[in-house]
Structure 1
Amino acid sequence: MRKQVTTALAATAAVSAIVTATAFAHTEVKSTYPSKNQSVSKKLSKVTVTFSGQIRSGTIKVTGPSGTISSGKGGRDPRDVKRIAVPIKSSKKAGTYTAKWTMKAADGHTQSGTFKFKIK
């Protein structure tokens, strides 16, 4: 009986460890460029979102007083498998802009979010 209880406890501990590891394995936003609410110059040439883990794909759309200033949908940065990036058009007005992103993590989960920044 004692051996059965020990085996059951060990199995429960193993399952608990796997579930806990899985729960904490989700990819999260590590940083953005520009940073949330940051003011940047009109020389801004790209917007990026960097994640805590590898991603499969992603897009970013940037809009504000000049309309859409992102050039295309962007995508995963070929130099960093944890980042999505989009080039920014040269014509942009001063004001507040919103970057809306969507990403598919390596584990297949899709996530999305937004952040605002200012161009001066």
Structure 2
Amino acid sequence: MRKAFTTLALAGVAMLAMATPALAHNVLISTDPGKDASLEAGPARITLTFDAPVQGGDINQVAVVGPGNTQWAEGSVEVNSNVVTAPLRPLGPAGVYTVGYRILSADGHAVTGEYKFTLTRAGTGTPASATAATGASRQGDSGGVPVWVWIAGAVVLLVIGLTVALRTGGGKAK
């Protein structure tokens, strides 16, 4: 019986050792320009503020698509703790502009999203060439290990521990 308890205790310790803290993906808490804002002049940059620091790296992307599916983001994205900034070309035609983003969350997962704002007066800018546009609009998830893998691992360890305990605990104590 003592062997069974020892085996179960070891299996429990192994499961706890594999456990990782629950981490939540970053959440967008504010934007500049704001969601659904109407602007008379185009902004010089897009600023996205998240609830937790954003990891640096090339995965952080911002794309701005205007009327006629034209690209307006220009240059590389800058990350400063929880604030992501992307420079823009001077905007052109009046209309709805969609800001798409993809950032590397504090927990290592990619977070994507989009919002819109409207330019009410046409600007004088010209769009970026198609090859200069970044892929922030490509939505997907990468990085990190899915939760189900950890759960499956814990179940396997528990089954192994119980099997060993039952097989070794069958003898009579002397």
Report the TM-score, using the length of structure 1 for normalisation.
Answer: 0.72
Shift of 1:106: 2.2
Question: Which residue in the other structure is 1:68 paired with?
Answer: 71
Q: What is the root-mean-square deviation of aligned Cα atoms in Å?
A: 2.4
The DSSP-based 3-state class of the residue aligned with 1:62 is strand
Larger-gyration structure (1/2): 2
Question: Which residue in the other structure is 2:61 paired with?
Answer: 59
- The amino acid that maps onto 2:22 is T
Question: Which residue in the other structure is 2:43 paired with?
Answer: 44
The DSSP-based 3-state class of the residue aligned with 1:89 is coil
- Structure 2: 5+ residue runs without aligned partners? 1-15, 121-174
- Structure 1: 5+ residue runs without aligned partners? 1-14
Where do 4+ consecutive residues of structure 1 move more than 3 Å? none
Distance 1:36 1:43, change over 3 A: closer
- The amino acid that maps onto 1:70 is A
Question: Which residue in the other structure is 2:82 paired with?
Answer: 82
- What is the aligned-residue identity percentage? 26
Work out whether residues 62 and 70 of structure 1, in 8 Å CA contact, stay in contact via their aligned partners in 2: yes
Q: Deviations over 1:37-86 (max 9, x none)?
A: 101132410012110000113110001116111113x3233xx3111111
Report the TM-score, using the length of structure 2 for normalisation.
Answer: 0.51
Q: Deviations over 1:11-42 (max 9, x none)?
A: xxxx8xx98x725x431111111111101132
